[in-house]
Amino acid sequence: MGEEFGKSGLYIDDLYTLRVIDPEVANETNELKDECERFTEKLTDFRRIIDQFANIVEVFAAEVDQEKMRAVGVQNMLKTFSKQRESEQQQIQSEIIEKMVELDKLKIEYQYLQRIESEQQEMIDNFYQNQ
């Protein structure tokens, strides 16, 4: 009798309930449904993880950009300090050269004054000797 029902598309399950679908197919369908639900849950979890990861990457990218801008600022500041130091060094070199030129002039003037003093002393000595 079960075969007659099977030919007409009706089936009797383990609980002796009349079914339109073969009980094995119904069980497999339920298993597939459960597996699809688990798969959907896993996809939802995966999507949530991806969204969290994307947020973390965005925050990290913003921090990297901020740090990069700070590094560029520091680099520019160092270049400015270097140029200032170079300018100061050139200024000091110029002052040294000026002072050396002034020293040379003063040495020449000192030698000239020593010669004049020597000549005057010689004249004074000659004057005293002639008297």
* 7 lies in some domain: no
Nearest CA-CA partner of 22 in 1, 36, 33, 7: 7
Q: For the whole model, what pTM was predicted?
A: 0.50
- Give the residues of the chain that fall short of pLDDT 70: 1-9, 13-14, 18, 20
pLDDT given for residue 1 in this prediction: 44
Q: Is residue 126 part of a domain?
A: yes
Per-residue confidence (pLDDT) for residue 131, from 0 to 100: 74
Query: For residue 81, is it within any domain?
Result: yes
**For position 87, what pLDDT does the model report?**
95
In a 3-state reduction of DSSP, which class is residue 10? coil
* 1 part of a folded domain: no
pLDDT of residue 7: 59
- Asked if residue 68 belongs to a domain, the reply is yes
Q: Per the structure block, which two tokens stand in for 5? A: 């029902």
Q: Sign of dihedral through CA atoms 21, 27, 30, 35?
A: negative
Domain encompassing residue 55: 24-130
Q: Is 124 a domain residue?
A: yes
Chain Cα centroid distance, residue 120: 78
Task: Tell me if 29 is assigned to some domain.
Answer: yes
Q: How many domains does the chain have?
A: 1
For 9, residues 6+ apart whose C-beta sits below 8 A from its C-beta are 20
Cα 90 to Cα 101: distance, rounded to the nearest angstrom: 17
Report if residue 104 sits inside a domain.
yes
